[in-house]
Amino acid sequence: MQRFILGRKNHIAFISAILIVIGFTGRLVFGSESIAVLALAAASVLGVLPISIQAYQALKVRVVSIDVLVTIAVIGAFFIRNYEESAIVTFLFLFGAYLEQRTLNKTRSAIKELTEMAPESALKQMPNQEFEEVEVDEVDVGDILLVKTGAKIPVDGTVILGEGSVNEASITGESLPVLKEKGDSVFAGTILDNGTIQIVADRVGEDTTFGKIIELVEEAQDSKSEAERFIDRFSRYYTPAVLLLGILVWIISRNLELAITILVLGCPGALVIGVPVSNVAGIGNGARNGVLLKGSEVIADFSRVDTFVFDKTGTLTAGKPSVAAKKYYGDNIRQALGYLASVERESDHPLAKAVLGEIGVTEFSTVEGGGILANVDGHRIAVGNATLMEREKVVISDEAKADISRFEKDGNSLVLASVDGELKILMGIRDRIRPGAKEDLARLKKLGVKNLIMLSGDNQGTVDAVGRELGLTRAHGNMLPEDKAAYVRKLTEEGRTVAFVGDGVNDSPSLALAHIGIAMGSGTDVAIETSDVVLMNSDFSRLPHALGLAKATSGNMKQNILIAVGVVLFLLASVFFSQWMNMSIGMLVHEGSILAVILNGMRLLRFRLRK
């Protein structure tokens, strides 16, 4: 029976409204007091049923909820035969709950849209090489899938055949399509706008980027900030205090109507709902714009960040080194390049990839230490850094020393190659700065960030060059993962509120130590799991939006608290110092304040950082 009544609260509110109209029509139009009393009393009894059930359920778990206050107030009004007040209060309370739920659903629309984007089926290659449609749950890692124009990509995978434009808005928030061809990564939940591709499944189900987004955002919405926990504790004591105040007023004044009016006006509804709705809307905005904020506690801390610490490679730079400068010495350079290619085939070091890219070789494997030593066609080849050349007693001329110094000053990492103890090749390899990174860092400064610091394992010359180009506050090179973590710890001990931005396994200790860890979305699983904020698809330009959104959400939360507290104080003051305040007007203002904080919170769904 209780479930039946609670499931029809909206119907009860509608019937109550009709009964109230009948009651006032009978009194004002037909002059029939009996019709008015009968209709308004029926509206009161009907309207208080779901409210009293909710009050009973709250009292069972020893909580004096808003429903308890309203139920007592309505019974009191009914007892003194003030049927108008009791009928109007119950209707406004039920109607307010309806509007509250409806507007709250809109704040959760971002998450609903995400779950609706989840792919349900896939075209999977069967043993007979034909493609058949199967449930997405039937796809395993390593399966080959066909994706046609207009279809959702069902898993995270790698393109092995074909090409097409993919709309990645569900992952990155970017509406412009991205061209995907053989070797490129694609994400579950994105849409192939045109073209036909075959992909091999790398991650399926909940392990996909899209699955993690939904999981993380749902967890974030369920989490509570310190402010929310405080309000929960506050309302636990505040609501009984209002009840006690009402009893004291009745004992002192012997005015039951005044006492029950205080019960209605003191309801803390807007205060209880104001902070959660701000956080839910802020998290929803982030999810729609390629930013995962892992909970309302994260938003509160993020909004106070005054120092950003960045890893260099893959964060401020693209993570794809290329040859930026080169110099040859002596004769037979073509032959020396051939020897270099033969040696670099044995390495998969990023600098080796850059060298191979320069001379057209694509095969490589691992290299250890500072370089490689090899014998090619009877010649001793050394490829590596200056330390290796020194160890091999390679003669470096004054001209080469000057070139080495110049290359390092320009921010290059060095690769030297010698043949039979004679320096032949010097290459300066540099990781390009992310396009737009300088402008994004400037936007962070405008948002109040005081310190922009870069930590890198690269040589100090390279780090200084990047720091100068980006206008960073400080830049430190030659740092191991433990050095980075120690530096972050030192900043926090100095009283800085620190955000660390990185993408690798070696960044995980720093991500965990910082107040806010921010991971690039294409980074490692460990970095993403350790972090508090994730920038999907490693889109660095989302970082200013993320910080601006956190600040806007935190400010919106404070506005809602101010609205809620201000309205309650105004209503209670009006009871004692005015003649016009009554239960009906108080309940109307009370429900209006709840809608005000919800609508204020919903503004965050449309938040965009001004450029």
Token code pair at residue 323: 């040859």
- Quote the CA–CA distance of 432 and 413 in Å, as a whole number: 12
CB 312 within 8 A of CB 463: yes
- Quote the CA–CA distance of 31 and 448 in Å, as a whole number: 67
Q: Is 311 a catalytic residue?
A: yes
Q: Work out whether the CA dihedral 269, 272, 277, 280 comes out positive or negative.
A: negative
Is pTM beyond 0.85? Reply is no
Does residue 398 come out as left (phi exceeding 0), alpha (psi in the -120 to 50 range) or beta? alpha
Residue 365's pLDDT is what? 35
Calculate the dihedral angle through the C-alpha atoms of 429, 430, 431, 437, rounding to the nearest 10 degrees: -170
- Quote the CA–CA distance of 207 and 214 in Å, as a whole number: 11
Q: How many residues does the chain have?
A: 611
Domain ranges of the chain: 120-154+156-203, 319-429
480 burial level (CB within 10 Å; 0-12, 13-18, 19+): exposed
Low-confidence ranges of the chain (pLDDT < 50): 110, 173, 346, 348-349, 351-353, 356-367, 523-524
Residue 473's pLDDT is what? 93
Q: Which CATH number applies to 120-154+156-203: 3.40.50.970, 3.40.50.720, 3.40.50.10420, 2.70.150.10? A: 2.70.150.10
- Quote the CA–CA distance of 523 and 530 in Å, as a whole number: 11
Concatenated DSSP letters of 538-549 = G-TTHHHHHHHH
Q: Which among 405, 380, 358 has a CA at the least distance from the CA of 396?
A: 405
Contacts within 8 Å (CB) and 24+ apart, 225-233: 225/275, 225/279, 225/295, 225/296, 225/297, 225/299, 225/300, 226/297, 226/300, 227/275, 227/296, 227/300, 227/557, 227/561, 228/275, 228/276, 228/279, 228/296, 231/271, 231/272, 231/275, 231/561, 232/272
Out of 143, 311, 532, 539, pick the active-site residue: 311
- Quote the CA–CA distance of 66 and 133 in Å, as a whole number: 52
Question: H or E element: which one contains 476?
Answer: strand 474-476
Concatenated DSSP letters of 316-381 = IEEEEEEEEEEEE-SS-HHHHHHHHHHHHTT---HHHHHHHHHHT--------TTEEEEEETTEEE
CB 285 within 8 A of CB 548: no
Angle at 353 between CA 347 and CA 355, to 5 degrees: 100
Token code pair at residue 357: 């890219």
Q: What are residue 560's phi and psi, to 5 degrees?
A: -65, -40
Residue 530's pLDDT is what? 64
Q: Which among 506, 499, 509 has a CA at the least distance from the CA of 524?
A: 506
Provide the mean pLDDT of the chain: 81
Query: 120-154+156-203 and 319-429 share one CATH topology?
Result: no
Task: Determine whether domain 319-429 maps to CATH 3.40.50.720.
Answer: no
